[in-house]
Amino acid sequence: MAKRDYYEVLGISKSATDVEIKKAYRRLAMKHHPDRNTDDAGAEAKFKEAKEAYEVLKESGKRATYDRFGHDGLRAGSGGHGGFGAEGFGDIFGDVFGDIFGGARRGGGPQVFRGADLGYDLELGLETAVSGDSVEIDVPSQVSCDSCAGSGAKKGTRPVTCSACGGAGQVRMQQGFFSIQQTCPACKGAGTTITDPCSKCHGRGRVRKIRTLSVKIPGGVDDGDRIRLSGEGEAGRNGGPAGDLYVELRVKPHKIFRRDGANLSCEFPVSIATATLGGEVELPTLNGVVVLKIPAGTQSGKIFRLRGKGVTTVRDPRLGDLFAEIAIETPVNLTAEQKQLLEKFDAAVQKGGDIHNPRADGWIDTVKRFFDRIS
């Protein structure tokens, strides 16, 4: 009797994805399994047919051969797909439902566990963040015990094979027609048990230690950036790889500058005389002092842009700009003579009206018009 098309058996199209193939097989396997259809003589045949179709279409190589040459191409190749049995059924359901029950590994053997990732908050000054540097940090972590070389057993002894799983690290449980592999509860997946534990690590195979590491800070990092140090996390178990260390960067507030990406900004005080008459002031930058010319009549809040006096970022090597905002400083603690001079100066300025105080006089006119409208 000629075999039916595998896509027809599973009720899917030839463009079906792997997920759709698995879903279709799961539905048919549950429907036609012999244990659930003891009174249906044809259920086992339908189950075998669905299982054979799934085993071909789930593998890209077999599927490509079948799509091109059909059933004849498969017979010319590997020579069949094997018969139906309880063990084969358990394997195929382990593949279909592995994601539901934890994805137990095929082939057995003790489980190895990757070490945990660690995090570390590192505070930097703005200068270090901008220019880059190497910084040493002390990281507390779990490392492999040097006394027992990570085995957990007392020096001169060895862990013994777990009697519950026979060293596989996993046990198989039968639940109805499901065959499920899970971590051995006796050895926690290690495949071995320790009868004489190491006195230093108490059988854990790892000890807590403060490690000093050197972290290379790239120039241009900013607050919130993260550096990954591969393999510098906690030690793994049962020979598993170490985790990673993630260094979170925190840039401390600067006394003078504020940063926005590649740009810097600052506020600097200027005396009334300099702002009024004009002059030159020395303005600090991260690369030294520059001379800034202040035009006569400069008002408080005026912002000067100094191109190329900012910083770079790790994503862009171009220098940003520095934005300097004028803050006119009001004199304090004046002497009687200074007060008199200032009063005479103010009186002289007031006589000039809006020639000397255009903003103030304009503001007063605006207020008058406002109250005139109200009245």
- Give the model confidence (pLDDT) of 56-85 as tens digits: 898 887 888 888 878 776 765 444 444 434
Tell me the average pLDDT across 259-267.
Answer: 95
Determine the pLDDT at residue 285: 93
Tell me whether residue 291 is in a domain.
Answer: yes
Last residue of a domain, one of 251, 266, 284: 251
Give yes or no for residue 100 having a pLDDT over 50. Answer: no
- Structural domains counted in the chain: 4
Tell me the average pLDDT across 330-351.
Answer: 89
Question: What is the residue range of 218's domain?
Answer: 118-251
Question: Between 264 and 153, whose confidence is greater?
Answer: 264
Closest among 311, 295, 305 to 263, alpha carbons compared: 311
The residues, any chain, with a CB within 8 Å of residue 241's CB and separated by 6 or more, are 114, 115, 231
Residues 198 and 312 in one domain: no
Residues 272 and 169 in one domain: no
Tell me whether residue 1 is in a domain.
Answer: no
Determine the pLDDT at residue 245: 92
Residues 264 and 246 in one domain: no
Residues 243 and 272 in one domain: no
pLDDT one-digit tens code per residue, 216-238: 999 999 999 999 999 998 888 76
Residue for token digits 């934890």?
102
SS3 content of the chain, % helix, strand, coil (to 5): 30, 25, 40
Q: Which token pair is 287?
A: 């690369």
Residues 144 and 65 in one domain: no
Last residue of a domain, one of 48, 67, 97: 97
- Furthest-apart CA pair in the chain: how many Å? 120
Euclidean distance between CA atoms 41 and 46, whole angstroms: 10
Residues 265 and 234 in one domain: no
Closest among 205, 195, 110, 197 to 150, alpha carbons compared: 205
CA-based radius of gyration for the chain = 39
Determine the pLDDT at residue 354: 62
Residues 266 and 234 in one domain: no
Determine the pLDDT at residue 339: 92
Residues 300 and 347 in one domain: no
Tell me whether residue 112 is in a domain.
Answer: no
pTM greater than 0.75:
no
Residues 233 and 151 in one domain: yes
